[in-house]
Structure 1
Amino acid sequence: MSVQDVPVFLALPSLTPAIALEVLPRGLTIHRLYIQADGRTHDLVVGPEDPKGHLTQKYTNTIVGRYANRLPTTPEPFILSKNNLSSTFSPQSNESPTVSLHGGPTGFDSQVFTPQVDLSSVQLFTAKEKSEIEEKYNNGSGMVFSLISESGDQGFPGKLLVEVLVSLVEPKGPQTTQPELNLGAVVIVYRAKLLDEAVVTPINLTQHWGFNLDASLKDEIPDSLSVKEHALTIKSDHTIELDASGLSTGELLPVKGTHHAHAEKASGKIGENWPESGYDHFYVFNKAPPASQPTRISTSSLSATTSFVEELLTKEGQQIDPVVVIASDRSGLRLTFDTNQSGVQFYSNNLTNPSKGARKKIHGGSGISGHGDSYGVGTAAFLEFHEPLGAWLHPKTQGISKDDTLLASGEVYNNFVRMDVWFKSPGPSDLEP
């Protein structure tokens, strides 16, 4: 197996219940997210058994970029302007002749990120931040990965340096006195900077990860592969209107009274009012992102003592008012999310084909590609935290952060998502089919 498909294993030492990650350098892929609780081991993300399976099971827990989701392709290039700078941009089509998906034909999901074992070569995290990250390195629960995207890559202007911190955070509070236990958190911090002067480029990074909190209970729950019994809360009053190609029209649509109003559902379950085509929509948050976590940082304002990661990498950083919550009574697991991005794309694995690809053995699959027992529609909730689709084209949809998804020379892109994992032992009735 090539080193690009050998997982980097991250875990919190001497911790029971346990949380651990397997991260593949190729596509910065979250290959496994292990949770051990109540005598059971869960893998919370869907995907192939073999790391090489991600070559064909596209966008399964990988990073996507330079630009997440869909952009229009046009005969004439886009003119990008910011901070008195300008560049031209020609997205490359891949989903259809008029649509560029997730960065183009060879996006970041196909690129090999380099694990930075020596933090001295890391450029986009400050000296103070590297000192804080160093502790995570020493106990094996954090790693920074880097990539250089050359100017012209998939039509994007400017040579771009990307550095991504993937880290685990130990749980908050005693583990014996709370009815619901905090098992720890996963933190991802995306940083990027243009290495060319006087350039503007679009950027919108995210993790395209798909969650199923019940799939590892295949021996106890016959329909454990479905996420329709999961409860989902998204703090959003609007989705973005899409045209027939899945591109943003630039208009906002209210969720109230629709199947997108997940909090209004009497059962609280995703499956109530399930649309025929499933879910693949962007929800604009109505909650302001943390003021302490800007999405753009001026390089002139950064100093050796600056830190934006300290609050994210501490147990005290757990969310009090998360923007997204997904939970299952059957497994007793609950995930809460916070971010400085303006919204989340919720995709219910609509385009998957169970006759293709492979399903993990822990989820009841054979692990063999093309065996006919892969994942079907509705088997995962993909929750992709990023800014609205084509935000520089559609100012109305930019959300509370007003992020236009453009990065200019002299700025550092800063995007984080923190996912806290919670567990409450389910009762016998919760496990009944």
Structure 2
Amino acid sequence: MSVVTLSSKSHNLNLKVIEKGLHVFSISFKDKSGKEHEIIIGPEKPEDAVKDRRFLHSLVGRYCNRLPHADLTLPGGTVFKPESFGSPETSLHGGPAAGGWDQKTLQRLSPQEVTLFSKSEIETLKTQYGEEAAGVWAYESPDGEGGHVGKVRAEVAIAVRDAADEGAVGEVILVYRAKLLSGEETALNLTQHWAFNLEASENARNGPGPMTDVKQHLYQLNSTQCLELAAGTALPTGHLVDAAKWRSGACNFKNTKKVGDPYPENGLDDFSVFDRRMTPKESKVVVDGSVDQVGNAFTGDATTGKLGEKVATLSSEKTGLSLEFQTNQSGVQYWSGHGGYDKSDSRRRVHGGKGEAGVGDGYDEPPALAMEFHEIYGAWMHPELKNIGWNTVLKKDQVYNNWVKMTIKSA
């Protein structure tokens, strides 16, 4: 099992990534008072994190979230049928394991092998981060994989660094790039399905202890609208709805509130659209021409202005920790972990568990809040969404560009 550790220059912020599916296995650091924290839930051993498809902390592709399992026509007339997974009516997170990118082992590239990042970006990663703090991984998806058309090359950069802002522990930056190597167009929508609990490490301060769920975590989104989802399939209906009216207000996080206030019977699994993303042309998610037209995400060129505003915050009053997110994506799917890790699973020793499965001291549901930043899925099929400018279609001679920056703070 190949696991790579990335460390900031101070060596305080450390991220471990499993090269199979680029699973983010660990994000650890000391807060301002010197307490150690691990904010990623999961098993003790890396091999246990990738043995089944729960999608917690992995790269998801070629198409994240859900598409209908049916003959679909792209804007240029290309017809394809994504393979079913999750339910007979849907293709979830890239389809069956044979096609899902969470099951593929990505190859780490040398600077000379990188093709989807500009010379400026490569130089920045080399001089300002270094091999210890950043890496670029690649995967080439063949034509027909998961029922999708065209051959696609993807490159993913993961980088960590210290942060100068007061109270900041550091930053984690993920950048996803892709290009169509054959064919005229393909559906493409990538995300990292990571999940966080900012209080889990408190359980081990005085030895093994009880687990706490995420219902008391505070959550805020710069969003007043949710994507309306069909009952049963969770596929988009093609309409946006007032967040205050969707799910009885459980998804109305415009003003900071607790994750569990109120808490739906089956947990959260919803998509909120960021207010500033009603003008998608500014996002540079899909760029005509070469990678030089994208901007340098590692120096701030692509993370300033409207696109650089904070769009989501997850925090804990108990620990004083908070995560602030910036992204060029249109919104975020948030899922509270039902059906994820539970009492029967292994809970890490750093979280107060025994590190063994089947002993009954696993994670309490909901164990974490997953935050999947991506574009509105299947938008090209719905006039209301397509007319705004969303489509999640990559064409020949375009570059797909998706970045997320997480700033970790300690009050």
TM-score by length of 2: 0.90
- Alpha-carbon offset, residue 199 of structure 1: 1.9
**Residue 133 of structure 1: aligned partner:** 125
- Alpha-carbon offset, residue 139 of structure 1: 5.5
Is residue 2:190 matched to residue 1:205? yes
**Residue 81 of structure 1: aligned partner:** 75
Alignment map for 1:181-330 (pairs within 5 Å): 181-196=167-182, 198-219=183-204, 224-243=211-230, 244-256=232-244, 258-264=249-255, 268-288=257-277, 294-299=284-289, 301-303=290-292, 307-312=295-300, 321-330=309-318
**Residue 88 of structure 2: aligned partner:** 97
> Is there any run of 5+ residues in structure 1 with no aligned partner, and where?
425-433
Matched residue type, 1:73: H
Specify whether residues 255 and 25 from structure 1 end up closer, same or farther in structure 2 by C-alpha distance, changes over 3 A only: same
Does the 8 Å CA contact 2:220/2:314 hold for their aligned counterparts?
yes
Does the 8 Å CA contact 1:171/1:315 hold for their aligned counterparts?
no
- Alpha-carbon offset, residue 57 of structure 1: 5.4
- Alpha-carbon offset, residue 333 of structure 1: 0.4
TM-score by length of 1: 0.86
- Alpha-carbon offset, residue 386 of structure 1: 0.2
Does the 8 Å CA contact 1:340/1:416 hold for their aligned counterparts?
yes
Matched residue type, 1:44: I
- Alpha-carbon offset, residue 138 of structure 1: 2.5
Specify whether residues 147 and 230 from structure 1 end up closer, same or farther in structure 2 by C-alpha distance, changes over 3 A only: same
- Alpha-carbon offset, residue 317 of structure 1: 9.8
Does the 8 Å CA contact 1:349/1:376 hold for their aligned counterparts?
no
In 2: Cα distance, 1:319 partner to 1:409 partner: 25
Specify whether residues 165 and 337 from structure 1 end up closer, same or farther in structure 2 by C-alpha distance, changes over 3 A only: same
In 2: Cα distance, 1:29 partner to 1:135 partner: 26
Specify whether residues 364 and 315 from structure 1 end up closer, same or farther in structure 2 by C-alpha distance, changes over 3 A only: farther
**Residue 421 of structure 1: aligned partner:** 408
Matched residue type, 2:259: I
Is residue 2:32 matched to residue 1:34? no
Matched residue type, 1:114: Q
In 2: Cα distance, 1:319 partner to 1:32 partner: 27
**Residue 48 of structure 1: aligned partner:** 43
In 2: Cα distance, 1:314 partner to 1:343 partner: 17
Question: Which whole-Å deviations, capped at 9, do the CAs of 1:91-133 have from their partners, x for residues lacking one?
Answer: 11111111111000121111101111x1111111111111111
Matched residue type, 2:268: Y
Equivalent of 2:160 in 145, 164, 168:
168
- Alpha-carbon offset, residue 209 of structure 1: 0.3
Does the 8 Å CA contact 1:43/1:362 hold for their aligned counterparts?
yes
Does the 8 Å CA contact 1:203/1:405 hold for their aligned counterparts?
yes
Matched residue type, 2:266: S
Q: In structure 2, the residue corresponding to 1:414 is in which secondary structure?
A: strand
**Residue 107 of structure 2: aligned partner:** 114
Equivalent of 1:67 in 56, 63, 67:
63
Is residue 2:379 matched to residue 1:391? yes
Matched residue type, 1:201: T
> Is there any run of 5+ residues in structure 2 with no aligned partner, and where?
none
- Alpha-carbon offset, residue 50 of structure 1: 1.0
Does the 8 Å CA contact 2:284/2:294 hold for their aligned counterparts?
no
Aligned residues: percent identity? 33
